[in-house]
Amino acid sequence: MPNRSISKSVIKRLPIYLRILDQLIRREVEIISSKELSNESGFTAEQIRKDLAYFGAFGTRGSGYNTVFLREKIIKIIGLDSVTDTIVIGAGNLGTALTRYNLTKNPYVNVVAVFDKNPDLIGKKIHNIEVLPIEKSPEIIKKHGIKVCLISVPGDSAQEVADLVVEHGVKAILNFAPVKLSVPEGVHVHNADLTIELQSLIYYSSAEEERLTRLKKEMKDSHSSKSFTHE
Amino acid sequence: MPNRSISKSVIKRLPIYLRILDQLIRREVEIISSKELSNESGFTAEQIRKDLAYFGAFGTRGSGYNTVFLREKIIKIIGLDSVTDTIVIGAGNLGTALTRYNLTKNPYVNVVAVFDKNPDLIGKKIHNIEVLPIEKSPEIIKKHGIKVCLISVPGDSAQEVADLVVEHGVKAILNFAPVKLSVPEGVHVHNADLTIELQSLIYYSSAEEERLTRLKKEMKDSHSSKSFTHE
DNA sequence: TAGATTGTTAATCGATTAACAATC
DNA sequence: TAGATTGTTAATCGATTAACAATC
């Protein structure tokens, strides 16, 4: 009852604040106001203050937020205060990109192993880790206590991969495959479906209103023949 | 005034409905109820009906929606009724994955060209197109009337790439770089920042409540020394 | 006609914005 | 003390859910 669960929209913004703070600290900025954070992030200052206030009073009235202090707090809120070990399943181009990126650019995450079922890819080195056959994943998951898994396999094998890793203890999946995964209660799935993103972007890339007006017109025109088209 | 703009949340769901309909049609299902669509998508039947009703009355009371008919309508709504030509900037692993995926698995999108500034990558073949130097992009954008662009370059060159493509007519960007892009009014940017996704997933991967309680306790404990830590 | 399911209106819920008192 | 900016409460806005009349 003391903390009722924080909304997803708030949680999605925290890593963005974190990234901005990392940049500011690199530039040796020590204090930042919600106004300035707003400029950097595109969110309103009010929203930023409100988001942070869910977790505590991290700022100083009259001056702003200490960047190092706030960064530390956000890291603890998200749970990034110790490096998170992950595995990547699917060693194609996407899996390779994800592995490389996290190993070299993401200090909060470590990739312990990469798996694939394609014999051609097994043994391949990515940055400094070797691609292992998927059968080895249960062993690695248990050995390292892996809770977070990235799935970058084709759509038709994503569900079986998910079943396998969840069975051995994975609690959170970042799913790049274009399918809806079924997982037991208590397991979290985030979908990073790039096709969906791209298609919804296409909606906005051309004159929205014009297209919808045309559509409405078509519907009206086909009204008489409706029973035809529509059964 | 006839159609006031449709909300982003609705638009994000349309490609998911489309994907499900594509699958159903492949399985030769002809009629589907909002209830069944709900099972497939995870959204509620009420929400699905409401989403679709923004654009017209596509169903038949008593039976449901004709899959082929509904698919056709959604395709027109999103603007996928003719193939969308795109370009990919950044031919690393991510750019390669995006290009391959769209060329082979996404029938609604065509990748016309891939660009990079790294001489080692120029000339490389991806699926059947050649990686070109980025200087060639204005020419290609104009020649094909490119409106949609995928950016998969490192964070520090993303803004200049965005400026370049927008200058030559791009109206929508799917941005994979971990930076906030500044673009003129009327240009749409969707961020597909995989680090952000991963970090917000990590939040949910370990006991949320426990962590937040600990944090609150820490704040209280450091109350007396607050002026120290915090200036 | 009876059963089923849509399309739409009303009610609820949640998230964002606005306003301002607290306070550095 | 005056100026600035936070933290928090209240007001607004938007999206989801519930309910049901329309109708196949």
DSSP secondary structure letters along B65-89? EEHHHHHHHHHHHHT-SSPEEEEEE
Q: How many C-beta atoms lie closer than 10 Å to residue A15's C-beta?
A: 24
Instruction: Show the 3-state SS of A30-86.
Output: CEECHHHHHHHHCCCHHHHHHHHHCCCCCEECCCEEEHHHHHHHHHHHHCCCCCEEE
Residue B48 pLDDT > 90:
yes
A45 touches chain B (CB under 8 A): no
Cα separation, A221 vs A204, in Å, equals 26
At A38, list the tokens.
């707003």
CA–CA gap between residue A149 and residue A112 (Å, rounded): 10
Å: A211 CA to C20 C1': 45
Q: Which of A33, A84, A69 is nearest to B200 (CA)?
A: A84
In the structure, what pLDDT confidence band is assigned to residue A214 with cuts at 50, 70 and 90? confident
Q: Name the residue in chain B with its Cα closest to that of A18.
A: B196
With bands split at pLDDT 50, 70 and 90, how would you rate the model's confidence at A29?
very high
Mean pLDDT across B128-137: 96
Phi, psi of A201 (to 5 degrees): -70, -40
Chain B contact for A92, CB < 8 A? yes
User: Is the CB of B62 less than 7 A from some atom of nucleic acid strand C?
Assistant: yes
Per residue in B69-117, pLDDT (tens digit) is 999 999 999 999 999 999 999 999 999 999 999 999 999 999 999 999 9
The sign one gets for the Cα dihedral A166, A170, A171, A173 is negative
> Helices B34-41 and B45-53: crossing angle, nearest 10°?
110
* Closest Cβ opposite residue A202 in set B76, B78, B204: B78
Mean pLDDT, residues B29-44: 97
- C1' (C3) to CA (B62) span, angstroms: 8
For the record, the structure tokens of A67 come out as 């960047």
CA nearest to nucleotide C14 C1': residue: A7
Is nucleic acid strand C under 7 Å from A7's C-beta?
yes
Residue B216: pLDDT band with limits 50, 70, 90: confident
CA-to-C1' span, A217 to C2 (A)? 35
Tokens of A65: 């937020």
**What is residue A153's predicted lDDT score, i.e. its pLDDT?**
98
- Give tens-digit pLDDT for A42-90: 999 999 999 999 999 999 999 999 999 999 999 999 999 999 999 999 9
Predicted confidence at residue B173, as pLDDT, reads 98
**Mean predicted lDDT score pLDDT of chain B:** 92
Q: At B190, is the pLDDT very low, low, confident or very high (cuts 50, 70, 90)? A: very high
- Min mean pLDDT across A2-16, A182-196, B177-191, B217-231 is at B217-231
The pTM of the full predicted model, rounded to 2 decimals, is 0.92
Work out the average pLDDT over B195-223.
80
The per-residue DSSP string of chain A comes to --SPPPPHHHHHHHHHHHHHHHHHHHTT--EE-HHHHHHHHSS-HHHHHHHHHTT---EETTTEEEHHHHHHHHHHHHT-SSPEEEEEE--SHHHHHHHHHHHHH-TTEEEEEEEES-TTTTT-EETTEEEEEGGGHHHHHHHHT--EEEE-S-HHHHHHHHHHHHHTT--EEEE-SSSPPP--TT-EEEE--HHHHHHHHHHHHS-HHHHHHHHHHHHHHTTTTHHHHT-
Query: Which residue in the block uniquely carries the two structure tokens 């490119």?
Result: B146
Q: Is B107 on the interface with A (CB under 8 A)?
A: no
CB A118 within 8 A of CB A97: no
Band of residue B231 on the pLDDT scale cut at 50, 70, 90 = very low
Nucleic acid strand C within 7 Å of A62 CB: yes
Q: Is the pLDDT of residue B230 over 60?
A: no
pLDDT given for residue B159 in this prediction: 98
Question: Does the pLDDT at position B37 exceed 80?
Answer: yes
Kindly report the average pLDDT of chain A as a whole number: 92
Residue-wise pLDDT for A110-133, tens only, equals 999 999 999 999 999 999 999 999
Instruction: Categorize the per-residue pLDDT at B4 as very low, low, confident or very high, splitting at 50, 70 and 90.
Output: low
pLDDT at B63 over 50: yes
Residue B215 banded pLDDT, cuts 50, 70, 90: confident
Residue with tokens 């992009």: B137
Q: Residue A137: what pLDDT?
A: 98
Where residue A90 falls (left for φ over 0; alpha for ψ -120 to 50; beta otherwise) is left
Instruction: Please judge whether B77 and A148 are an interchain contact, meaning their C-beta atoms are less than 8 angstroms apart.
Output: no
Average pLDDT for B171-195: 95
**Nearest by CB to B98, which of A63, A73, A194?**
A194
Quote the CA–CA distance of B37 and B78 in Å, as a whole number. 19
Q: How confident is the model over B21-48, as a mean pLDDT? A: 97
pLDDT in tens, A141-153: 999 999 999 999 9
Per the CB < 8 A criterion, the answer to whether B135 and B110 are in contact is: no
